Amino acid sequence: MPTTQRVAYVRVSSAGQNLDRQLEAIGHADKTYREYQSAATASARPQLREALDYVREGDTLAVASIDRLARSLRDMLEIMEELEEKGVSVEFVSQGLTIRPDGGDLTTRLILHIITAVAQSEREMIRERQSEGIAIAKARGVYKGRTRTHDDTAIQAMRDQATQGIPKARIAREHGISRSTLYRYLAWPRS
């Protein structure tokens, strides 16, 4: 019989963030999958998809905390169902929960659902508060959004290059901006 493995899955919302705390919390793992992006569903996270495809019966998927595995209750239920069908246990290190594929303790499953629902609700409240704060700041004239990376002179130089027929991708590359930012600059009224 093949040996079982402890497989780790760690995730941060952007490449600038650090996985060290999650890796330290999880400890030993035979294989580790690292995700550097934020996505609402498991299907939009390639490393999670690989981890789910990799694990097999008897393995344990170790995650630092519940919110690192799923962003919604629906997503959590889908992931847990897939792992249960494969015979894989899931360990949530920070919460001290291990969900076993045999159905295990119903209280543990209930706790998982409650914690996931609370985390989802918390994310939604944070988003709502942020939107309200931005609306209030805009109404007071305080919120202006992100500052431009280029001044009017640089933007005019980009317009001149575009008028000369220089490809937009080249202009964007030369100025260190994305093409979408270039198009936004080109669409702004001239000052």
Active site residues: 13
CB 155 within 8 A of CB 149: no
Q: Where are the alpha helices (DSSP H) in the chain?
A: 20-26, 46-54, 66-69, 73-86, 106-139, 152-163, 168-175, 179-187
**The total number of residues written for the chain in this structure:** 191
DSSP letter for 57, please: T
Asked if 60 contacts 89 with a C-beta cutoff of 8 angstroms, the reply is yes
Burial class (CB within 10 angstroms; exposed 0-12, middle 13-18, buried 19+) of 102: exposed
